[in-house]
Amino acid sequence: MTMRVLHLGFEDPRMPGAGGGSVRTHEINSRLAAKGFDVTVLTTRYPGWEARVQDRVRYIPIGIGTGKNRLTRLLGYVVRLPWEVRKRRSAADLVVEDFFAPFATMAAPLWTRRPTIGIVQWLHARDKARQYKLPLHWVERWGVRKHRRLISVSQGIADNLRAYNPNVHVDVIGNGVDPAAWKPEPKLGRDILFLGRLEFGHKGLDLLLEAWAQCSERIDANLLIAGTGHDEAKLREAIRKSGLEGRIRMLGWLSGDRKFQALSDARLVVVPSRHETFGLVAIDALATGTPVIAFDIPCLRDVVPRGAGWLVDAFDINAFADEMALRYVDPGLRTAALTGREFAAGYNWDALADLQAKSYRDSLMALGPAGSEAMHSGGREGA
């Protein structure tokens, strides 16, 4: 029997600067499609967007105009999404709402008129509320209470969801490692690498620059920064003002084999984030055989195990600087690399896709006759 899934995915994995959430969406959906699921993903528009079928998954960017910046992408998606869902819902057995910044959820169960579940990789509306001085966390809390079933990528997020909505059912299904991460041969690299979206607040780039300024003279290497994001110009200016232009290299956006080669070539990978949804970069780094230094925060402490990396007291810049200097010359780096690869091997996309398929089927049964009777052998509309 075919299950037709309409996935409100928000971010397209092909969009430059796309985060780990879109990677997860595609890795899971492509495996579900290979199992016979019929999957359509609605995403934001961005310059160069195109509707396409990729690995049997149908991608349809929606919005207004070309989506030249974050604001127009967000507004275009929010405005168009209910209408686009209405156009396609008769061809969907299950609607899946990805939570997204800045307010997490559009409370999709209220208006899809189909069995609807949420996938929660992000639950930081309170931080965005402080950033934008808007009550975004109220929207988040209200939206979570409208869902009956959710999938969370971590236990910490699941606990927060249940605190918002004690009656919600939450399946915890984490993220996996791209098989391409295993291609590079592990080695003891030279430089220290940051890889991710270029955001000061979320990703802690300001904290990293301060720490690097303190320890760079003790380390015979450069700090490499790979990624793109809305704070790129701000970051370049901060580097210029710090006087560290000769010790920091910007690599731009890396993906696929180039990303994993960069992770493998590094001696250490640093994750100075103030908050994370899962910590996919950390897992990817461990899979390539590169140990990780990160702040001790929820989610990251689950994916940076003792022996494969090191956790520093949250946002302690001095301690982060000292840890980079200490671990750079640590004679146990090769052992840490082996431990990390063994740990990362447990994050398998095929197994995770099986868990998500089961969660979808269970959700259809739990959400009532309209869901359980909708499955059939085919059909689509509105693509």
| Whether pLDDT at 1 is above 70 | no
Segment (H or E) for 34:
helix 20-34
What integer pLDDT is reported at residue 383 of this predicted model? 41
pLDDT tens figures, 155-185:
888 999 999 999 999 999 988 998 899 999 9
Q: What percentage of the chain has pLDDT greater than the value 70?
A: 96
**Paired tokens of 136:** 């975004």
Q: What percent of the chain has pLDDT over 90?
A: 80
Cα 75 to Cα 219: distance, rounded to the nearest angstrom: 45
**Mean pLDDT throughout 305-312?**
96
What is each CA distance from 223 to 190, 213, 318, 373, 380, in whole angstroms? 10, 10, 17, 56, 50
Q: List, in order, residues 6 or more apart from 174 with CB less than 8 Å away.
A: 153, 154, 278, 347, 352
* Between 380 and 32, residue with greater pLDDT: 32
Q: Which residue segments constitute the domains of the chain, with CATH numbers given?
A: 4-176+348-372 (3.40.50.2000), 180-344 (3.40.50.2000)
C-alpha–C-alpha distance, residues 111 and 383, integer Å: 20
pLDDT at 381: 38
Q: What is the pTM of this model?
A: 0.75
Q: Which H helix or E strand runs over 336?
A: helix 333-344
Q: What is the pLDDT of residue 127?
A: 81
What's the whole-number average pLDDT of the chain? 92
Assess whether pLDDT exceeds 80 at residue 374: no
What per-residue confidence (pLDDT) applies to 123? 85
pLDDT of the residue at 122: 84
